[in-house]
Structure 1
Amino acid sequence: MKLNHIERAAMNNPIRAAHQHHREAAWFRRLARGDLSGRHVLEVGCGRGVGSKVILDRLGASRVTAFDLDESMVELARRRLHGRPVTLSVGDVCEIEQPSASVDAVVDFGIIHHVPDWQQAVREIARVLKPGGLLLFEELPAHVLDTWVFRTFTVHPRDNRFEAPDFAAELARHGLHGTGTIERRLGGMVFVGAARKV
């Protein structure tokens, strides 16, 4: 689902960008047990390109392939990432236009909870990861999406949502096994983790 104007404002501002560059990057570096040096990384739901910049500058990827469902966000990302080793396109995480077993890592900066058929998104991520490839994820659990604020001001899907254990179980069904405990952050508003394709 595309973001509404309130969600766009919440996700596209200097505070969110600083949080991604510092706190989220640090979480992912630790979960990856280092950086992603020399790796080809796929970012699902790239928005205006801040995540791709973090993947290059803070996680050390050599190149990034990224897409978003919203063509206006992809255009903003093109401007932000001009001249960087990033391939951008409009795309859907439920139908990733990438060959099977073709990327070293996938990074999800809180996108999958926006997807009505999130299980299909997980299936596609597992398909495109190489054996031994790593998924780094940050997601919002169902109980947060069910709060008054989220129900009133956002357009997240309401049915078929997940808590952290549901998400981990779906990853495992597709051969993506956790590299440690899923961590709750920001007072339980989000959870983060890593899973490797076996």
Structure 2
Amino acid sequence: MKLNSIERAAMNNPLRAAHQHRVEAAWFRRLAGGALSGQHVLEIGCGRGVGSEIILDRFGADRVSAFDLDELMVTKAQRRLHGRPVTLSVGDVCAIDQPSGAIDTVVDFGIIHHVPDWQLSIAEIARVLRPGGLLLFEELPRHVLDTWVVRTLTDHPRENRFEAAEFAAELARHGLHGTGAIEQRFGGALFVGAARKS
């Protein structure tokens, strides 16, 4: 699902970008065990391109492929990342336009909880990852999406949501096994982790 105007404002502002650069990048770098030097990294739901910028500048990826459902966000990302080794497109995580086994690492800065058929998105991520490839994820659990504030101010699918353990079980069902315990952040308001393709 595309973000509504409130979510777009919350996700596309300098405070969110600063948090991604300083905090979320540190989480993911630690979970990845260091840099992603020389890798082809896929960012799902790239928004205006801050995540792809981090993947290049903080993780040292060789090249990034990134997509978003929202054409406006892809246009903003193209402006932000002009001249960088990034391929941007409009796309859907349930039908990723990449060959099987083509990607070294997939990065999810909180996108999968927006996907109605999130299990299909996991299957697609598993398909495009090479054996030994890595998924880095940050997600909102069901109990947060069920709060009055989130239900009132944002547009998320209401059915078929997940808690961290259910998310991990679905990853494992597709051969993506956690590299450590899923970490709860902000009192359980979100969870982060990493999984490798067996």
State the SS of the aligned residue for 1:24: helix
Task: Tell me which amino acid in the other structure corresponds to 1:57.
Answer: D
| Matched residue, 1:170 | 170
2:167 paired with 1:193? no
| Matched residue, 1:121 | 121
- 1:34-89: CA deviations, max 9, x gaps? 11111000000000000000100111111000000000000000000000000000
Relative to the length of structure 1, the TM-score reads 0.99
- 1:173-195: CA deviations, max 9, x gaps? 00000000000012211100000
Aligned mates of 2:53, 2:185 — CA distance in 1: 22
Query: What's the offset of the Cα at 1:153?
Result: 0.4
Aligned mates of 1:20, 1:37 — CA distance in 2: 19
Relative to the length of structure 2, the TM-score reads 0.99
Task: Tell me which amino acid in the other structure corresponds to 1:64.
Answer: V
2:40 paired with 1:61? no
Aligned mates of 2:44, 2:66 — CA distance in 1: 6
5+ residue gaps, structure 1, are: none
| Matched residue, 2:181 | 181
Aligned mates of 2:187, 2:62 — CA distance in 1: 33
- 1:75-123: CA deviations, max 9, x gaps? 0000000000000000000000000000100000000000000000000
Give the aligned length: 198
2:73 paired with 1:96? no
Cα RMSD of the aligned pairs, angstroms, is 0.4
2:29 paired with 1:12? no
- Displacement over 3 Å in runs of 4+: none
2:76 paired with 1:76? yes
| Matched residue, 2:28 | 28
Task: Tell me which amino acid in the other structure corresponds to 2:169.
Answer: A
